[in-house]
Homo-oligomer: A and B are copies of this chain.
Amino acid sequence: MPKVVDVDQRRVELADAAARVIARSGIDGASLREVAAEAGWTTGALVHYFANKQELLAFTLQTSLDRRRSRLADRASLTPAEALSATLRSALPTTAETTLHWIVTLAFAAQASADADLAVIQREAYLDFRDTVSALVAGEHSPRDAAEQEAERLIALIDGIALQALFAPDLWTEQRQLAALDSGMRAR
A167 to B22, CA, bound (A): 20
Chain B residues within an 8 Å CB radius of A108: 110
* Residues from 103 to 122 in A contacting B, C-beta threshold 8 Å: 103-104, 106-115, 122
Nearest residue, chain B, Cβ from A99: B113
Cα distance, A116 to B27, chains bound together (Å): 15
In the assembled complex, the Cα of A157 lies from the Cα of B162 at a distance in Å of 11
Count this chain's copies in the assembly: 4
A153 within 8 A of B: yes
Contact (A110, B164) CB under 8 Å given A152-B180, A156-B157, A184-B153: no
> Taking the nearest CB of chain B, how far is it from the CB of A14, in angstroms?
19
Report, as a range, how many residues of chain A touch the other chain. Answer: 35 or more
Name the B residues within 8 Å of A110 (CB-CB).
22, 26-27, 103-104, 106-110
On chain B, the residues within 8 Å of A113 by CB distance are 23-24, 26, 103
Q: Does A158 contact B (CB under 8 A)?
A: yes
Q: How far is the CA of A163 from the CA of B154 in the complex (A)?
A: 13
A sample of 10 inter-chain contacts (CB < 8 A) reads A23-B113, A28-B28, A107-B111, A109-B166, A109-B167, A126-B164, A126-B167, A159-B160, A160-B161, A187-B188
For the complex with contacts A26-B111, A107-B111, A159-B159, 11 further pairs of A-B residues with Cβ separation under 8 Å are A23-B113, A24-B113, A26-B28, A103-B110, A106-B106, A106-B110, A110-B110, A123-B167, A156-B163, A160-B160, A187-B188
